[in-house]
């Protein structure tokens, strides 16, 4: 895991190039504190901050060259050993390092740009082909690793984080108003190729970018996720197939020359990762990290965590409860690292988890991102399942699922009615329509012109699968992965997400809906595959929690109350009078719009201070 930066700029004089590249690298020094490398080829500059995970020797430093190609790479190619053996056996390749970086270069020489289709992992890289005079850039299938850039004519600048571009001569602080509104209305901090700045783009997940001599740039998709359920496997076969692929993903994700730890929230996903690893490797010791909050509005998952620790004594648990003083102390630093105004408070818990792991010397950490999105873990997945059954004319099954869900969650009559009506709507309307409605109505006083800036392609397959596809590729997961990357790299930690092995995800999307949600229970195939591995108390959990916080209410009235005192004069597209009224109501104890208040005041602070690195 590392930080990359570079540019192609004929207008930048020879004396300025090292200075600009050094400034870009210094702004993301936290991503790779172990080594720094630079390569210049005329108007081409490549820079790299290294976090040493594989082959810890200096031979693994970057930029790395093989033949006519130079590369700077951030991420992990988990199947690099298998690819290296294949390249040796069938193509006579020889290798001088034990890195996956060298495997990427060798694979490019054999398969060209198509090499990325053979990779299992997470990555963003820029590869300069000196013979073709082309810069080949790529980002992994789910966008786990970031790649941001500015393109103006022939001039091209790129970096792992937006802050790496602040010092480049093309950067402008002009805000992308549509991104701001999408962040306020929907909580998306990442969508399509947008960032919070008009001039800065992000390479979409599953895409390649090629810069050609003369400044022409081609951006194209090399992978898409199918939503068609092609597997009619028997229930036990589906469970066995899931477990086999999950085990393989865990095996590959444990490849490291440094210690690997794990997040442990006490929920189904992180507990499955830790428990399954211990089941497969009974003698292996592992450190696991948990954040909790006591007191009014607190969230304490330690009883669930203890279930895992009791079942697997080889896991050493570390816990921490952040104080109000700590929350206030890290606020500016967390926002600076995030590169975006956080749309909720939960990323702070993840920030504290990474801080806790770093104090124990951990450089690689496993986390459970992606399971909720592909397995129907969120409660609103039920609306799509039930609505889809209605549209298919399967009313008895729809009523059965609705009743089971209502009973499982203890819904009142009013809530049961609301759930049914939302399910009807979800069955009749596309994801584009539903998200557009929310976008136009969540924060009605923004003054939108009724145009919707995003487009969600209609997919094939079941209503539930189409929704899960949107969560995975458009709405939820891209934002969560951005937090995952920034929070972990703030502490020079490589965060790995085993549920996002693309082969596992493709398999899950090929399964029938009943393998995901059945009779009011989510994540069926995961729960069943973990029988005998997960503690029964966790396997039977029906609530949905992660690393949540007391945040929007308690923190805004406590350690972050200074955010409520800001003036909104510079945010001229918002109705400042109504914002003042909303904040006044919150001050008086009305929590109805606490999340909206959070988004507004954090946005205002970020617009004023977000680009300034905290002192000290």
DSSP 203: P
Q: Across-strand partners of 48?
A: 4, 37
Q: CA 47, CA 100: separation in Å to the nearest integer?
A: 18
Catalytic residue among 2, 115, 137, 168: 2
Reduced to 3 states, what is the DSSP secondary structure of residue 175?
strand
What does each C-alpha distance from 212 to 46, 95, 132, 236, 335 come to in angstroms?
Answer: 16, 29, 8, 51, 36
Q: CA 197, CA 10: separation in Å to the nearest integer?
A: 24
Contact predicate 188/196, CB 8 Å: no
Q: CA 374, CA 382: separation in Å to the nearest integer?
A: 13
Interaxial angle between packed helices 381-391 and 463-473, expressed in degrees from 0 to 180 and rounded to the nearest 10: 150
Tokens of 430: 């596309």
What does each C-alpha distance from 352 to 32, 293, 493 come to in angstroms?
Answer: 20, 12, 13
Reduced to 3 states, what is the DSSP secondary structure of residue 72?
strand
Q: CA 225, CA 142: separation in Å to the nearest integer?
A: 10
Q: CA 313, CA 300: separation in Å to the nearest integer?
A: 21
Quickly tell me which residue has 């963003």 as its tokens.
Answer: 124
Q: Which of 360, 366, 354, 264 is nearest to 307 (CA)?
A: 264
Q: CA 472, CA 65: separation in Å to the nearest integer?
A: 35
In the annotation, is 2 catalytic? yes
Q: Computed from CA positions of residues 68, 74, 76, 77, in that sequence, does the dihedral angle turn out positive or negative?
A: negative
Q: CA 41, CA 8: separation in Å to the nearest integer?
A: 10
The rounded Cα 128 to chain-centroid distance in angstroms is 27
**Category of 59 on φ-ψ map: left (φ > 0), alpha (ψ -120 to 50) or beta:** alpha
Which positions are catalytic? 2
């Amino acid at each position: 895991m590392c930080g990359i930066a570079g540019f192609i700029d004929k207008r930048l004089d020879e004396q300025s190039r090292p200075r600009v590249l050094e400034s870009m690298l210094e702004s993301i020094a936290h991503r790779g504190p172990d080594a720094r490398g630079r390569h210049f080829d005329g108007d081409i500059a490549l820079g790299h901050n290294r976090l040493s995970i594989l082959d810890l020797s200096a031979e693994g430093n970057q930029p790395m060259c093989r033949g006519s190609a130079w590369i700077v790479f951030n991420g992990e190619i988990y199947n690099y050993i298998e690819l290296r053996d294949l390249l040796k056996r069938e193509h006579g390749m020889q290798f001088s390092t034990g890195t996956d970086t060298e495997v990427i270069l060798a694979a490019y020489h054999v398969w060209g740009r198509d090499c990325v289709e053979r990779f299992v992992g997470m990555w963003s890289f820029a590869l300069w082909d000196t013979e073709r005079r082309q810069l080949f850039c790529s980002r992994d299938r789910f966008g786990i690793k970031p790649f941001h850039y500015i393109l103006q004519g022939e001039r091209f600048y790129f970096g792992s984080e937006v802050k790496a571009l602040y010092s480049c001569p093309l950067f402008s602080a002009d805000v992308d108003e549509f991104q701001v509104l999408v962040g306020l209305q929907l909580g998306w901090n990442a969508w399509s190729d947008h960032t919070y700045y008009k001039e800065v783009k992000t390479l979409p997940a599953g895409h390649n970018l090629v810069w050609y001599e003369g400044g022409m740039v081609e951006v194209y998709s090399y992978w898409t996720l199918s939503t068609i359920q092609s597997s009619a496997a028997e229930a036990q076969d589906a469970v066995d197939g899931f477990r086999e692929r999950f085990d393989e993903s865990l095996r590959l994700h444990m490849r490291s020359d440094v210690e690997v730890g794990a997040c442990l929230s006490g929920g189904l996903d992180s507990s499955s990762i830790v428990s399954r690893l211990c089941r497969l490797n009974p003698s292996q010791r592992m450190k696991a990290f948990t954040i909790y909050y006591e007191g009014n509005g607190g969230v304490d998952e330690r009883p669930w965590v203890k279930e895992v620790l009791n079942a697997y004594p080889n896991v050493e648990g570390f816990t921490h409860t952040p104080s109000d003083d700590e929350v206030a102390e890290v606020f500016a630093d967390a926002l600076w690292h995030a590169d975006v105004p956080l749309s909720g408070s939960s990323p702070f818990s993840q920030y504290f988890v990474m801080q806790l792991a770093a104090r124990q010397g951990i450089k690689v950490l496993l986390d459970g991102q992606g399971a909720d999105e592909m397995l129907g873990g969120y409660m609103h997945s039920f609306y799509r399942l039930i609505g889809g059954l209605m549209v298919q004319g399967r009313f008895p099954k729809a009523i059965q699922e609705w009743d089971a869900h209502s009973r499982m969650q203890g819904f009142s009559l009013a809530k049961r009615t609301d759930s049914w009506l939302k399910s009807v709507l979800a069955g009749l309307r596309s994801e584009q329509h539903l998200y557009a409605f929310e976008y136009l109505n969540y924060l009605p006083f923004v003054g939108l012109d009724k145009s919707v800036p995003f487009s969600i392609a209609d997919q094939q397959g079941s209503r539930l699968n189409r929704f899960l596809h949107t969560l995975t590729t458009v709405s939820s997961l891209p934002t969560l992965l951005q937090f995952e990357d920034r929070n972990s790299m703030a502490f020079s930690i490589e965060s790995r997400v085993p549920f996002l092995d693309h082969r596992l995800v493709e398999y899950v999307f090929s399964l029938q809906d009943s393998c995901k949600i059945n009779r009011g229970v989510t994540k069926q195939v995961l729960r069943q595959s973990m029988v005998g591995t997960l503690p029964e108390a966790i396997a039977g959990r029906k609530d949905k929690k992660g690393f949540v916080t007391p945040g929007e209410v308690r923190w805004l009235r406590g350690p972050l109350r200074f955010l409520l005192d800001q003036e909104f004069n510079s945010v001229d597209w918002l109705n400042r009078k109504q914002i003042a009224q909303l904040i006044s109501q919150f001050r008086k104890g009305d929590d109805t719009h606490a999340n909206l208040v959070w988004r507004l005041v954090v946005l205002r602070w970020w617009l004023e201070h977000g680009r300034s690195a905290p002192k000290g």
